[in-house]
Structure 1
Amino acid sequence: MRAVILGLAAALGLAAPAGAWTRPGHMVTAAIAYDEIIRLRPDLLTALATILDAHPDRGPFQVAIDRTTGAERARRMFLECARWPDDVRLSGHDHPTWHATLWPVITPDASAETRARLARRGDTPSGEALPALALNYAVLSDPRATPTARAEALCWVLHVTGDIHQPLHTGELFSAAYPTGDAGGGRQFVRDPLGDGPISLHWLWDDSVSRSGLAADADRKGRELETAHPRAAFKTSGPFTPDRFASWAREESYPLAVSTAYGAGVPTASTEAAAPAVPAATWQEIQRQAEARVALAGYRMADVVIAAFDAAGR
């Protein structure tokens, strides 16, 4: 097992980087997941806190917990864990290729050369989110793994599970204007509906659920989404097995990238200076879709954590 994990880990640093739900968005998914763990398996809370206390990068966690103790301290550590992979970008803990798995979205005006290049790629996505999930789930589930290794793996499992529920972490546009791809919306620009400055189409989706980094706001938004999007409303939510990671990305998020993120007629520009406004109805639809995906990601994150801790015997 260790040899397989190390070999896979060595292979994961090769693809182009991509972004993520913003830190507040990841905190909201974690708030939902934590509520679900409390509801389904409160017996795991002590084990979760013990694992997170072994995390090798203490700084961000100390900031997150502040002076809290007990249950609030444990909850804040869990929320920080989900956003930690973004907090450590450009550090020794960073894995920039682990945040996305991008399949091409090809427009009718894409050149023959672009089409031929993508045809040679087949259905292989760019980005390493799916192998990263497999790797980190294996570590988190392994009773022989050290608490430190499991703590870091837990953060990546939470984070990347959230990422693959964001449509623009699974789709990348190829067109006459973007023959080499738009980096999951990162090279298209719009006016920020909430701030009026230019932001990328990718960040429009990333920032659509929450922009507050406060734990209390993440908890509040999480409970709002639990009410608006209860678990029972999702037909796709069911018993977790590790082979479902790919279907969450390819069969759910990617079609939303095609139909909504790229297909809803969002006006964009290739430069920040020319970024157009987002129509109000379009912004409302993006928020609606993103909030549903965040809620579902939170429920599934709980399932993944429960399955991994059970496999490891806590």
Structure 2
Amino acid sequence: MLKLHSFAKFSLLTALSTILVWQYPAFAWNKPGHMVSGAIAYRELSQNHQEVIEKMVAILKEHPEYSKFEQQWNSLKQSNISAENKNLYLFMWAAKWPDEARNNQAFNHPTWHYINFPYQPGSSSNSIPREIPGEENIIFAFQKNLDIIQSNATNNEKAVAICWLFHLVGDVHQPLHTTKLITNEYKEPEGDRGGTRFYIRVNPDGQTISLHKFWDDLILGSENFQTVRNTATKIRASYQRSKLPELRETQFNNWAKLESFNIAKQKAYLNGKLSGSSDKNDGKPLPPNYAATAKPIAERRMSLAGYRLADVLTKLFGR
């Protein structure tokens, strides 16, 4: 029996967005970003493990909200998207579905999308963070859904768990979904909540946004099928498997602890030197080269998410 151990843009009304920010971190990657990771995984599997795709599609067709997928697919067909792309789009949909289900109490699990390892600049406790036993965070959620898929659960239940597996593998590769900044301005126990209270401006005269949202939106801003597909193709070409030594690490909890957490410290918060504001109306301008540096980091993380998702699915559903 397999045992694995323990990345939606804010498009809601302003009032609801504000409530969500204060309750829990923003979406990890936006919806198009999650769709990209699903597309990368699909292309990987279609080349070497078509049987995995067939098994998963059969289960996903029993998803309790599969009719919503069909509605979205039917609207795509009106744009002359060929039928052979239906399974590809199903993978895209599966990856973003947990964000689309946030308004459904039966499926919404807000704390599953992240884990808040504390980062306190200058502290000696920032090396390898510790998990909190019993906390229903992203590491807990990954194992829980993995267990459901490997159990005697119904295909209805397994389909929901598969979507969560897609989504969580994406989420854990978004650096700011693994940490909270602790400073005199952002005090324990909440800190800056994964950068959702750390306000910046991309340009000095730009709009104030959270650092978290900045990282969420680095991959893509459109759910257009062709745009998502093309972005996934470009990222796979730029970050090939053979050039990603990180893929030797197969433990989900280490993707959070050893990779994303360290990237958050070093690249997102610039080892504690990044200037931000707790005033949501007046963010601090990012350094001039910050965005150009962050973009390839996000793309590399997205490529890893797609490849690793394909690997996890192959272990679960391969021959």
What is the TM-score with the length of structure 2 in the denominator? 0.82
Which residue of 2 is the match for residue 48 of structure 1? 56
Deviation, 1:141, is 2.6
Q: Which amino acid aligns with 2:117?
A: W
Structure 2 runs not aligned, ≥5 long = 2-22
Superposed displacement of residue 197, structure 1: 2.1
Q: Deviations over 1:154-192 (max 9, x none)?
A: 110010111111110111100000013000000011124
Distance 1:239 1:184, change over 3 A: closer
Structure-2 residue corresponding to 1:7: none
In structure 1, the partner of 2:144 is 135
Q: Given the superposition, is the C-alpha separation of residues 219 and 176 from structure 1 closer, same or farther in structure 2, using an over 3 Å criterion? A: same
Q: Alignment length, in residue pairs?
A: 283
Aligned residue among 225, 246, 252 for 1:245 = 252
Aligned to 2:130: 123
List aligned pairs for 1:121-200, cutoff 5 A.
123-125=130-132, 128-142=137-151, 144-180=152-188, 181-192=191-202, 196-200=206-210
Unaligned residue ranges in structure 1 (runs of 5+): 2-15
Moved more, 275-284 or 67-76: 67-76
Corresponding residue number in structure 1 for 2:309: 301
Q: Is the 8 A contact 1:269 1:275 kept in 2?
A: yes
Q: Name the CA shift for 1:214/1:32 in 2 (closer, same or farther; >3 Å).
A: same
Q: Distance in 2 between matches of 1:158 and 1:151?
A: 11
Distance 1:250 1:157, change over 3 A: same
Residue in structure 1 matched with residue 213 of structure 2 by the alignment: 203
Given that residues 148 and 161 in structure 2 are in contact (C-alpha distance below 8 angstroms), is that contact kept between their aligned partners in structure 1?
A: yes
Q: Is the 8 A contact 2:52 2:313 kept in 1?
A: no
Distance 1:66 1:189 in 2: 39
Give 1:104's aligned residue.
Answer: 118
Matched, 1:18 2:25: yes
- The reply on whether 1:260 has 2:267 as its aligned counterpart is yes
Aligned to 1:89: 102
The CA deviation string for residues 203-227 of structure 1, in whole angstroms up to 9 with x for no partner, is 1111011111112111110111011
Q: Match for 1:105: what amino acid? A: Y
Q: Distance in 1 between matches of 2:159 and 2:165?
A: 10
RMSD value, Cα? 2.4
Q: Does the 8 Å contact 2:57/2:87 carry over to 1?
A: yes
Report SS of the residue matched to 2:270: coil
Report % sequence identity. Answer: 30
Contact kept in structure 2, 1:170 and 1:254, CA below 8 Å: yes
Residues 276-310 of structure 1 deviation map (CA, whole Å, 9 limit, x = unaligned): 33234110111111110001110000011111113
Structure 2 CA distance for partners of 1:172 and 1:46, relative to 1, 3 Å: same
Name the amino acid aligned to 1:21.
W
Task: State the TM-score, normalized to the length of structure 1.
Answer: 0.83
Secondary structure at the aligned position of 2:275 is classed as coil
* Structure 1 residue 44 displacement after superposition: 2.0
Q: Which amino acid aligns with 1:103?
A: F
User: Cα gap change, 1:52/1:70 in structure 2, threshold over 3 Å: closer, same or farther?
Assistant: farther
1:11 is matched with: none
Distance 2:201 2:270 in 1: 18
Counterpart in 2 of 1:231?
A: 241
* Displacement after TM superposition at 1:59 (Å): 4.7
Q: Residue by residue, what CA displacement relative to the aligned partner does 1:98-126 show, whole Å, maximum 9, x if unpaired?
A: 00012110024x9xxxx9xx99xx82356
Q: Secondary structure at the match of 2:247?
A: coil
1:286 aligns with 2:294: yes
